[in-house]
Structure 1
Amino acid sequence: MVIYNYHPASGELLSTGRADDNPLAPEEPIVPGYATPTAPPADVTGNSIAVYRDASGIPPQNWEAGSWTVTPDYRSVPLYRTADGSAFEFGEEYGGIGDLPAFLTDEPRPSPAHVWTADEWVLDEALETEQLAAAARAQRDALLEEADQLIAPLMDGFVLGELTLEEEARLKALSQYRKALRAITTQVGFPRTINWPVKPE
């Protein structure tokens, strides 16, 4: 008699073999634990797998307590946490076989401004605006720091009255540039459309 060995934790097919002879009842070969004489379904396709489980969803040691069922198999599919869109690694929380738990999805998060709502990623425009504003301010602050470093040596010459006409013009241009940088948050389209000032050469 051909038998089908299944995994004691997942219930998936491991291998085929033959039942042991039963000297007391030759017509009833001995089927070892976690094996069944019932063949798994042959029409399993796509991201699915046949597993041998009992009514409670656990692979039974005694084959008579279970049966083959077809269930999703996500082990080769990238999964993401619905809380923050981070990549999920298979483990104790979920091994990849069976329906996806509520905290996972196979849909990647489109952007950091998307939130998981009603089984899909939905753009949170308020969050997106907040993130764009924070990124723009960070960029502005970096440009201001760079401008400060360019202005500092010119200011010494200005206080001492030692600037050339060319240096005075550069100091004025850099000061105007710095002023324009500080004003980007007051632009009508901020933070979605920003007219960034051009740094003087």
Structure 2
Amino acid sequence: MEIHNYHPLTGEFFCNGLADWNPLQPEEPIVPGYATPTAPPAAGARRVALYLDAAGRPPQNWPDGAWTLVPDYRAVPLFRTTDGSPFVLGQEYTGLGDLPAFLTDEPRPSAAHKWVNEEWALDEALEVAQLAAAARAKRDARLADADRLIEPLMDGFVLQELDEASTLRLKALSQYRKALRAVPDQAGFPRAVVWPVPPA
């Protein structure tokens, strides 16, 4: 008689075999532990057949259980719903069975999305705050670059030692810095920023 062996920890089918011969009752072969004469059902995509008892554990003796189709996420990237970080299968969740509430197989579209009602939803206020922070950081970096260019010119200006070309460059850099400081005041800030062009 053909038997179907299942894993003692997960209940997952892993191979076929033959029942042992029963010398006392040859018409009733012996089915060893963690095996069943019942064939597993076809699983389909993202499903796996597990042989489980009423408590959801693989029974050692086959009459105490039955095949059950459960979701299989072991080959699917999973993410935490709290922050969208990748999840590694382990004791918290093995990948077999329904996804726990703290996991999803949908990647987080952006850092401005939050998990709401079982889906990622854009938090527009958070998105604006993140865009504004990124734009200010970019503006500050450009201001620092401009400051480094202006610093040597300022000494010459204070000492009245600048030639005409250097004076014009100092004015252009100063106008550039002024425009950079005004970036947050633009009507489209922070979604549509028109960046000032640095002087040549």
Shift of 1:121: 0.6
**Aligned AA (1:193):** A
**Aligned AA (1:186):** D
Aligned residue number for residue 66 of structure 1: 65
Aligned residue number for residue 158 of structure 1: 157
**Aligned AA (1:48):** R
Give the Cα–Cα distance (whole angstroms) in 2 for the partners of residues 129 and 172 of structure 1: 33
**Aligned AA (2:23):** P
Give the Cα–Cα distance (whole angstroms) in 2 for the partners of residues 45 and 116 of structure 1: 29
Look up the SS of the partner of 1:150 in the other structure: helix
Task: Establish whether residue 31 from structure 1 lines up as the match of residue 31 from structure 2.
Answer: yes
Aligned residue number for residue 123 of structure 1: 122
Deviations 1:24-74 (A, max 9, x none): 3322222221111111113x2111111111122111111111100111111
Instruction: Give structure 2 stretches of 5+ with no counterpart.
Output: none
Shift of 1:159: 1.4
TM-score scaled by structure 1?
Answer: 0.95
For these two proteins, the number of residue pairs brought into alignment is 200
Give the Cα–Cα distance (whole angstroms) in 2 for the partners of residues 48 and 77 of structure 1: 12
Deviations 1:53-107 (A, max 9, x none): 1122111111111100111111121111111111111111111111111111111
**Aligned AA (2:14):** L
Q: Give the ranges of 4+ consecutive aligned residues of structure 1 lying more than 6 Å apart after TM superposition.
A: none
**Aligned AA (1:163):** L
Aligned residue number for residue 6 of structure 1: 6
Give the Cα–Cα distance (whole angstroms) in 1 for the partners of residues 125 and 141 of structure 2: 25
**Aligned AA (1:109):** R
Aligned residue number for residue 148 of structure 2: 149
Give the Cα–Cα distance (whole angstroms) in 2 for the partners of residues 100 and 148 of structure 1: 54
**Aligned AA (1:110):** P
> Percent same amino acid among aligned pairs?
68
**Aligned AA (2:68):** T
Give the Cα–Cα distance (whole angstroms) in 2 for the partners of residues 144 and 40 of structure 1: 68
Instruction: Give structure 1 stretches of 5+ with no counterpart.
Output: none
Deviations 1:94-138 (A, max 9, x none): 111111111111111111101000011100001001100110111
Deviations 1:137-164 (A, max 9, x none): 1111111111111111111111121111
TM-score scaled by structure 2?
Answer: 0.96
Aligned residue number for residue 191 of structure 2: 192
